[in-house]
Each structure stands twice: as C-alpha cells, then as structure tokens.
Amino acid sequence: MSDQTVDVLIIGAGASGAAMAWSLAETKMHIVCLEQGPLMNPLTYPSASMDWEQQAAGEMNTNPNVRCLPSDYPINEDESPIKIANFNAVGGGTILYAGHFPRFHPSDFRVNSLDGVAADWPIDYAALAPFYAENERMTGVAGAPGDPAYPQDNATRVPPLPLGQSGEVLAKGFNKLGWHWWPSDTAIVTEEYDGRAPCINLGACGTGCAQGAKGSSDITYWPHALRAGVELRTRCRVREITVGDDGMATGAIYYDGDGKEQRINAHVVIMACNGVGTPRLLLNSKSAQFPDGLANSSGLVGKNLMFHPYAMIQGVFDEELDGYMGPHKAIRSQEFYETDADRGFVRGYTLEIQRGMAPVRTAMTGLRHQRIRWGETHHDDYRRMFKRMTGMVAVCEDLPEAHNQVTLDPVLKDSDGIPAPKITYTLSDNSKRMMDHAVGKATEILKAAGATDVISEAPLMWGGWHLMGTARMGKNPETSVVNEWGRSHDVKNLFIVDGSIFTTSAGVNPTNTIQALALYVADQMKSRLATLFD
C-alpha cells in the first residue's frame, strides 16, 4: 500500500469533479482526482457500428445493473419505481447525457418562501449567474437569447440545433394554443468550438458522441485541467474517507486498477461522486468519531433523494418527420413551470421536445404500447410509426422527502467488496398529479399539432438520471450536510460539489447547475484559502 500526501483530493471525475479540478488548477496546488472508471475513447462509441442501438441496450445501457461494466457498482433499486441511470468513467454521467443544459429559474432557489414547501437554498440565482456563464462558455452551448421564461442572461451561445420538421410541427401546435416554447439550451456545439467539431446530427448522443460535439466533461474541462497540471488517476475506486484524531479528513483508501488497496493523504478532500455515489461513500466512512458515517451529524446523508419523475408523451403523425436524424432535442416549453395553485400541485415542469426515434427504438416503443404487433401486421404497424413519431418528456420537479433515500445495502457489494447503495423511493402525490397534468397538456399540444395517436408513459422507469439532494446545502447544521459554500458542517476540510448538495431539484435538468455550483464552491475556496478551515 503506497502512502502519498497531496494538497487536494477530488473523488469522482464526472461533471462536477471536472469543473472543480479545472477551476482549482490555477492555484498550482497538487491536485489528484481519483476516478473508478476509465478515460473513454470516443472512436469506440457505438454510433460508428451498425449494431449501435444494440450496444445502447447492452454495454452502453444507462442502468449500471444492466451494463455491468468493470467500472460499475451494483445498486439495489428493488424499492424504487424509478431506476438509476449513470455512467462511471471520466466525464461521469455526461458521457451518456442528452446535453439539455438549462439554468434554474430565480424562483427555484426560494421554494419555501414562495410556495411554503421544502426549503430555500442558502444562495440565490444572482450568486450563481456568473458561474452559469463560465460553465456555458467552457462547455459550449447551443441556444438562443431572449427566452421570456428566464431573466436576461449573459450566456455565450452558438446557434441553436436545427428546429427540423418535428420541431416545426410541434411549434405550430404550441403557437395554436398560445403556449410558450423556445430553442433548448443544449450542451452540443453547432459550430467548431474549443477544438471540437460541430454536431452532424447522428442522433446517438445517448451512447456517447463520437464526433465530440456534445459537451461531456471528459472533452470540455478535463483536457484544460490536465494541461494545467491536475493529476487524474483512472480505475481507482475509493472505499472510504479517512479521518484523524482531530476530526479532520486525512485522505482516502482506494483500490487501484489491479485491485490493490492504496492510501492517499490530502489536506482537502472534495466529493464529486454524484447523488448516489457520494452518500454511499460517506455512509461507508464510519469511524469512532463518526459512527453514523462521515459528515452525518444531521442524519441527512443519503436522505431527501430527488429524481425528476419523467412523463413521456409521443404523438404519431401522418406525415414523415425527422425520425432518427439529429440530436433528440430542439425545443422546450416552460408554460407550466412556475407554481399555479389552480393546477392542484405545487411547483412545475419543463416540456422537453424529443425529435424522433431511431429504428430499433421505434419498434420497441410501438411494441411496448401495443401499436406494433407480432405477425403479418408487423410491417404496416411499424411503417405507421417509423419517422412519423415525435413528442416530449416532462421533467417534473421532485420535492425533498426524508424517506426517499440512499442507504448501504446490508448484503450487496461491488467487485472490490464495498457495500452497494440501496435506493428507497416512492413517488409523492404532488409528483403524480404533476405528471398527470403534464400528460394532459402534452396530449393537447400533440393533438393541436396534428397527431393522430398519442401514447404516454409515467413515470419513465429507466429515467433516474438526475440524482440530487442526498447531502444537502444549507446554513443550519441540523438541517443540512454542507454549508452555503459546499463545506461539510462537521468536517472542515471536506467539501461536496456534486448533485447531492441540491436543496431542491427545480423542474429542469441539473447539470448546468451542478457544474455552476462546483465553480462557485471552487471560487469560494480560492477566495478563502487562508481561512479555509476556520
């Protein structure tokens, strides 16, 4: 077992770990990042093979229990109607993410004050705004300024993704109803950007972008962080954070690529393992001083797990649309985003338009919804749907509830013998009502746009891709795990920067906010270096 001391240890090289590593690099401290997965080679992504949709269902599946790669850890999700979607590699979940990249709204930071539910964030939109802008510049975002659903912003944007035939049809539906829609802010570049090639509409973003157009953090932040001197160690899986007699974190114990146990000492430890991986590691870091797990005096580590329950609503049209072409996004609607008490639920949702579907996905969707049958009718059934479907998903705000949680499974372990996380989650009545509302409104839009048939699914079982809330941020140590700049209330040299620190989830995709928060925490650390542990 080797023993080395560094200034800063970052655990996890996903969206937040990458942003943090890049931002701290300018301090010239010795920064090491441990990541359990490999550095991906985009040339090996499925979209270069004829069987790419099969790989998407297998070794590039979004669910780690199906994928079962050596870098994955199993997750007991038997007690959750929504299953986890993640990816364990440099870039983390952004390797597979769709790249929707909206900001939160100002009201999302004031949920308790405005709607009397959950808790307010200890920071506000204005505090994050410069870091959103920095993150968007580093990532490369397509979109258009002037969205009336948001305050004016200072974002750098490249031109939006094509509206396409599907976008046009749906835009007409929205316009007929007089409802809001806008080009999606998407982490996909439509022109050359930071040495990356523009999107060529492969329609395979969910299996990794071979073209390098999608802003996964392995190709946005990491090349810059590595050039600035950050050391990235792949295939290193951390088992626990160690602590000294003074209650400060001293480093971590991990297994290297050969399965050998190693120790690394660090003056500062930063967790970036996501809303499931971080509580798992904290709960597994028990000691005499921290018998309930590290940083857990509030008892809230692992609690308040939030997904965004997703509803999927698709229409079948008579005319040919975009089908398999193009990234599966173009526009979004936030007509039903802000709370309206008359709707029977608090908070709201974004409607994210999905362009169309590739051939196998078309078949599987049709079969699942009994629109495509086995036997003689198969071909006609299929052709009624192929290139003739478009629709949307509703990204519903999930409110924090203590019983929705990540714990350690008493039996299940990963390949290194580390206890696996267990998810316990139930959908709230508020979420159910919100999804019902979204299905109803989306159906209206699709019908207004000319759909002859509408199918829906809620919640999307495989849609647990947004992992938030399990080590939440707040000013009060009794009701939160980290303070308003990401430092653990209990352990003064331990920071958390991934989706676990979200106080509430908003009704938009989280990654722009996760990374903006990481940049904000890094900035706070840099401005307090002399008093960081006070």
Which of positions 194-253 make contact with ligand SF4 (CB under 6 A)?
199-205, 209, 211, 213-214
Contact between 363 and another protein per CB under 8 A: yes
The amino acid that residue 529 corresponds to is L
Contact between 327 and ligand SF4 per CB under 6 A: yes
What does the angle CA 317 – CA 323 – CA 328 come to, to the nearest 5 degrees? Answer: 115
Contact between 485 and ligand FAD per CB under 6 A: no
Q: How far apart, in whole angstroms, are the C-alpha atoms of residue 393 and residue 457?
A: 9
Q: How far apart, in whole angstroms, are the C-alpha atoms of residue 282 and residue 415?
A: 19
Q: How distant, in Å, are the alpha carbons of 364, 382, 425, 448 from that of 370?
A: 10, 11, 29, 24
**Among the candidate windows 22-30, 267-275, 317-325, 358-366, which touches ligand FAD by CB under 6 A?**
267-275
Q: Is the peptide bond before 459 cis (omega within 30 degrees of 0)?
A: yes
Residue number, 58 or 440, with CB nearest to another protein: 58
Among 198, 206, 302, 486, binds ligand FAD (CB under 6 A): 206
What does the angle CA 74 – CA 263 – CA 247 come to, to the nearest 5 degrees? Answer: 95
Whether residue 126 contacts residue 168, with contact meaning beta carbons closer than 8 Å, is answered with: no
Give φ, ψ of 36 to 5 degrees.
Answer: -75, -20
Residue number, 4 or 54, with CB nearest to another protein: 54
Residue number, 96 or 271, with CB nearest to ligand SF4: 96
Least distance to ligand SF4, CB of residue 202, Å: 3
At 1, list the tokens: 């077992």
Hey, which residues between 45 and 84 contact ligand FAD (CB under 6 A)? 62
Binding marks (x or -) toward ligand FAD, 223..262, rule CB under 6 A?
A: --------------xx------------------------
Q: How distant, in Å, are the alpha carbons of 103, 131, 222, 223, 280 from that of 126?
A: 12, 10, 27, 29, 32
Contact between 97 and ligand FAD per CB under 6 A: yes
Alpha helical stretches, state H, 284-405:
359-368, 378-385
Contact between 322 and another protein per CB under 8 A: yes
Radius of gyration, CA atoms only, the chain: 22
**Among the candidate windows 90-98, 284-292, 334-342, 477-485, which touches another protein by CB under 8 A?**
334-342
Binding marks (x or -) toward another protein, 368..397, rule CB under 8 A?
A: ------xxx-xx---x--xx----------
Contact between 92 and ligand FAD per CB under 6 A: yes
Among another protein, ligand SF4, ligand FAD, none, what does residue 100 contact (CB within 5–8 Å per kind)?
ligand FAD
Q: How far apart, in whole angstroms, are the C-alpha atoms of residue 102 and residue 145?
A: 12
User: Of all helices (H) and strands (E), which one includes residue 223?
Assistant: helix 221-227
Hey, which residues between 238 and 297 contact another protein (CB under 8 A)? none
Footprint on this chain of ligand FAD (rule: CB under 6 A): 11-17, 34-37, 62, 85-89, 92-94, 96-100, 206, 237-238, 272-274, 277, 281, 465-466, 498-499, 509-511, 514
Interface with ligand SF4 (CB under 6 A): 188, 199-205, 209, 211, 213-214, 327
